[in-house]
Amino acid sequence: MIETNVIYVIVAREFKKFIREKSRLISTLARPLLWLFLIGGGMSRLVPGGENVSYIQFIFPGILGMTILFTAIFSSISIIWDKEFGFMKEILVAPVSRFSVVAGKATSGMVLSTFQAIIVLCLFPVIGLRLDPMQVLGVILVSAILSFALAAFGILLASFYENYESFSVIMNFIVMPMFFLSGAMYPVKLLPDVLKFLSKLNPLTYGVDALKNIVFPHETGRMGADFSLSLDMFVIISLAVVFVLVAGKVFERKQ
């Protein structure tokens, strides 16, 4: 019960902070809208779509993945902030498991990322996609699992840094390559061998591909998914468990 309360308190605190920061919500939602309608709309005139999928429809799962990536990863910045102002020290001296702290932070990132992904998902009729209720639920489920895995990854990275400036630099160095190598803007199967290899090491690749499997279940051409849904989910869930366990161990070592 104590461990559950720790997770609840951390999630409630982060969600309240997010709700109060209106500018954060607006800026987070503005990014996927710009990529979807400006960049996607412009590129759709240069890049041909598939038989049943236009280019702007093809990048929609990638835009969902981008929303999840930025929100989940940058939610871990609060760890650096809490380290500087003492809240994290209060948590770490409490008689609770370090894994509960990591799980609470990862869950808060999952809640915030999934919440914003659902808002972006509501745009699917605007771009001409037709999703039935089971597909919508599947997208939300995959978004939640992917959000948890990426938030745990961000927490693992944040545990090695003590100030906001250095962490922001490494985050920008990691986040954009993760996005461009995820197959969000172009199919992984069309990449050169070196980039294809790097894409397969990218956690976001499997999350975006899982979303493609759900959104385009019958698309088998170059605009379809690159891997099977079962492989995508296995990789995402496995990485989520590994990131939480490793981050918990790092917190124990640094206590």
Higher-scoring residue by pLDDT: 63, 29: 63
Report the range of poorest mean pLDDT among 123-132, 145-154, 161-170, 202-211. Answer: 161-170
Over 90: is that where the pLDDT of 2 sits? no
What is the pLDDT at residue 108? 85
CA distances from 103 to 110, 240, 245 (A): 10, 10, 9
Which is higher by pLDDT, 253 or 247? Answer: 247
pLDDT of 70 reads: 86
110 has a pLDDT exceeding 80: yes
Per-range mean pLDDT, top range of 22-31, 152-161, 163-172, 197-206? 197-206
> 120 or 222, which is more confident?
120
- Residue 91 has a pLDDT of 65
Looking at residue 166, what is its pLDDT?
66
Measured distance CA(27)–CA(38) in Å, rounded:
16
CB 168, CB 143: distance < 8 Å = no
Residue 128 has pLDDT above 70, yes or no: yes
For residue 232, is pLDDT > 90? yes
The model's pLDDT over 177-231, given as tens digits with 9 standing for 90+, comes to 888 888 888 888 888 889 889 999 999 999 999 999 999 887 766 677 788 899 9
Average pLDDT value for residue range 23-41: 75
Average pLDDT for 33-52: 70
Whether pTM exceeds 0.75 = yes
Contacts of 141 (CB under 8 A, 6+ apart): none
- Does the pLDDT value for residue 238 go beyond 90? yes
Domain that holds residue 167: 2-253
Interval 55-93: pLDDT, tens:
888 889 999 998 899 888 877 777 777 666 666 666 666
Average pLDDT, the chain: 80
The total number of structural domains in the chain stands at 1
The pLDDT of residue 149: 92
